[in-house]
Amino acid sequence: MLRYTEEHEWLRQDGDEVVVGISEHAAELLGDLVFVELPAEGVTVAKGDEVVTIESVKAASDISAPLDGVITEVNTAIVENPALVNDDPLEAGWFFKMTLNDPADLDGLMDEAAYRAYIA
Amino acid sequence: MSEPLETPLNALHRSLGGRMVDFAGYGLPVQYPSGILKEHLHTRSAAGLFDVSHMGQIVVRPRSGAVADAAAALEGLVPMDVAGLAPGRQRYAMFTDEAGGILDDLMVANRGDHLLLVVNAACKADDLARLEAALAATCTVEMLDRALLALQGPLAAAVLAAHFPDVGGMRFMDVRALGARGIEAIVSRSGYTGEDGFELSLRAEDAVDVAEALLADPAVMAVGLGARDSLRLEAGLCLYGHDIDRTTTPVEAALEWAIQPARRAGGARAGGFPGDAVIFDQIARGATRRRVGLRPEGRAPMREGTALFAEEAGEAVGTVTSGGFGPSLDAPVAMGYVPIEAAAPDTRLLGRLRGKMLPVTVARTPFVAPGYKRH
């Protein structure tokens, strides 16, 4: 069950952690990614902090931390091959994993139906 | 804010899934569903079709009937040898101002009894006014209402020859009137991608038919503005308003090659264009800065506006004027201005990107080998 932010990130619960990526909609809007810079593992982040820099052919964008927490793991595969994000944004193109300061924060985010309505 | 103007291919772009943006007041596709990367790579391996109808096509017609008079008049506005341009040939030109700055860059073609100019969309109103004011005594000046398509890539000639057999005999920078099945086109073997290719000036009402006929060829893909930009950047070609503008002279812009000997100091028709004194001085003694190619180390693009430094501590010495990702190089590429002392290829500089100083090296342009058919 995915949750979504208004910045088009998805979050999926994975035990104590959440996996974070960008939606198909976001990947399509951005176009072909050519560069990804991920945060360091172990870094503490607050909701809204710019944690990832992505560059498409046309422009640079930032991904913000969706909630308060700690980055536990980053997906180096997308640094090697940014196209993975465009090919498979919901699975292989994940960006990072994090633990949340308050897991209940997830409930405040949009579910699939709400996100679909949001991007309509 | 007013609605953008439409080119004759507007409905076609939308039907192909083009993502439309406002470019110089015109609705044009930045990309189609395939995406910028695929469109770019396809153009370098096969053939890409571009709608560039937003550009200005201007006829300068001598009142005397002798094109030499139109050429002489135009030489009062550009540092180029127009009088020596043979019929059926085209060359790159620039309008300059009194300070030697560039007002626009354009193509000038000798069409036998008139000159045909193709200018940038953003400058076309000013260019038209400038031509009318300066040339009124000797020429009529008219902006045409025609479409302009570009077919670029190694397969472009084969694709076009199926419709206009005569294209095979054209050399790079030749211009011909071609007709086929009721379609009348003015075709030049030229473009803005670094590849072999053609630019087709068409009646507005023929544009869709020709575009569809070309797209029906499996070698051809529709290509948008995004790939047009990455292609020209890899080819080291300037974009007016970014790499060249009123604050850059042709010498600073590394475009002095476009000033033919006839117009240089000591030439048959030396000077006589705006800014000639400044430009001659720079040709003789060198300018203080120069446009160069740049290769950022790593994979992060350095885009327009990125400050360039000679060393970690110190003031910025230059700026990036165009930058992005080069799909054919699978690496970031850029162009910018640096002090003449730092302009030699392989000079190592630093670019400030998101607060970090990252290495970037001066490189020769073009970044990819050109495919022009000069013979």
pLDDT in tens, A43-96: 999 999 999 999 999 889 999 999 999 999 999 999 999 999 999 999 999 999
Cβ-Cβ contacts under 8 Å, A33 against chain B:
none
Contact (CB<8Å) B325/A57: yes
Cα of B234 to nearest chain A Cα, Å:
13
3-state DSSP assignment of residue B37: helix
Nearest CB to B226; choose among A55, A57, A86: A57
Q: Same structural domain for residues B222 and B330?
A: no
Parent domain of B128: 56-143
Cβ-Cβ contacts under 8 Å, B36 against chain A:
31-32, 56-58
Q: Is residue B245 part of a domain?
A: no
Q: Same structural domain for residues B86 and B114?
A: yes
Q: What's the burial of B67, exposed, middle or buried (CB within 10 Å: 0-12/13-18/19+)?
A: buried
Last residue of a domain, which of B234, B264, B297?
B234
In the CATH hierarchy, which fold is given to the domain comprising A2-119? OB fold (Dihydrolipoamide Acetyltransferase, E2P) (2.40.50)
What was the pLDDT predicted at B1? 55
Q: Same structural domain for residues B48 and B27?
A: yes
Taking phi first (over 0 means left), then psi (-120 to 50 degrees means alpha), and beta for anything else, what does residue B35 get? left
Q: Same structural domain for residues B79 and B225?
A: no
Cα of A105 to nearest chain B Cα, Å:
30
Q: Same structural domain for residues B162 and B48?
A: yes
Q: Same structural domain for residues B220 and B164?
A: yes
Q: Is residue B76 part of a domain?
A: yes
How many interchain CB pairs under 8 A, A with B?
A: 42
Q: Same structural domain for residues B135 and B176?
A: no
Q: Same structural domain for residues B151 and B230?
A: yes
Q: Is residue B257 part of a domain?
A: no
Q: Is residue B263 part of a domain?
A: no
- Whether residue B323 contacts residue B299, with contact meaning beta carbons closer than 8 Å, is answered with no
State the CATH number of the domain containing residue B122.
Answer: 3.30.70.1400
Bridge partners (DSSP) of residue B28 are B21
Number of H helices, E strands in chain B: 8, 20
Cα of B31 to nearest chain A Cα, Å:
9
**Mutating which of A24, A30, A50, A58 best tests the B interface, going by the most B Cβ atoms within 10 A?**
A58
Q: Same structural domain for residues B125 and B175?
A: no
Looking at the structure of chain B, the number of domains it has is: 3
3-state DSSP assignment of residue B201: strand
Q: Same structural domain for residues B164 and B177?
A: yes
What was the pLDDT predicted at B120? 98
ipTM: 0.88
What was the pLDDT predicted at B263? 98
Distance CA B335, CA A89 (A): 32
**Mutating which of B31, B37, B223, B232 best tests the A interface, going by the most A Cβ atoms within 10 A?**
B37
State the CATH number of the domain containing residue B18.
Answer: 3.30.1360.120
Cα of A83 to nearest chain B Cα, Å:
10
- Whether residue B303 contacts residue B320, with contact meaning beta carbons closer than 8 Å, is answered with yes
Q: Is residue B246 part of a domain?
A: no
Contact (CB<8Å) A57/B299: no
State the CATH number of the domain containing residue B326.
Answer: 2.40.30.110
Q: Is residue B243 part of a domain?
A: no
What was the pLDDT predicted at B154? 98
Q: Is residue B344 part of a domain?
A: yes
Angstrom CA distances, B157 to B79, B87, B149, B199, B373, stand at: 32, 22, 14, 11, 10
**Mutating which of A25, A28, A29, A32 best tests the B interface, going by the most B Cβ atoms within 10 A?**
A32
Mean per-residue pLDDT pooled into runs of 10, chain B (375 residues): 90 98 97 96 98 98 98 98 98 98 98 98 98 97 98 98 94 96 95 98 98 98 98 98 98 98 98 98 98 97 98 95 97 98 98 96 97 91
Helices (H), B192-345: 207-215, 225-234, 276-285
What was the pLDDT predicted at B329? 97
What was the pLDDT predicted at A9? 96
- Whether residue B104 contacts residue B123, with contact meaning beta carbons closer than 8 Å, is answered with yes
Sheet holding A60-64, edge to edge: A33-37, A50-56, A60-64
Q: Is residue B281 part of a domain?
A: no
Q: Same structural domain for residues B107 and B136?
A: yes
What was the pLDDT predicted at B375? 81
Q: Same structural domain for residues B32 and B156?
A: yes
What was the pLDDT predicted at B181? 86
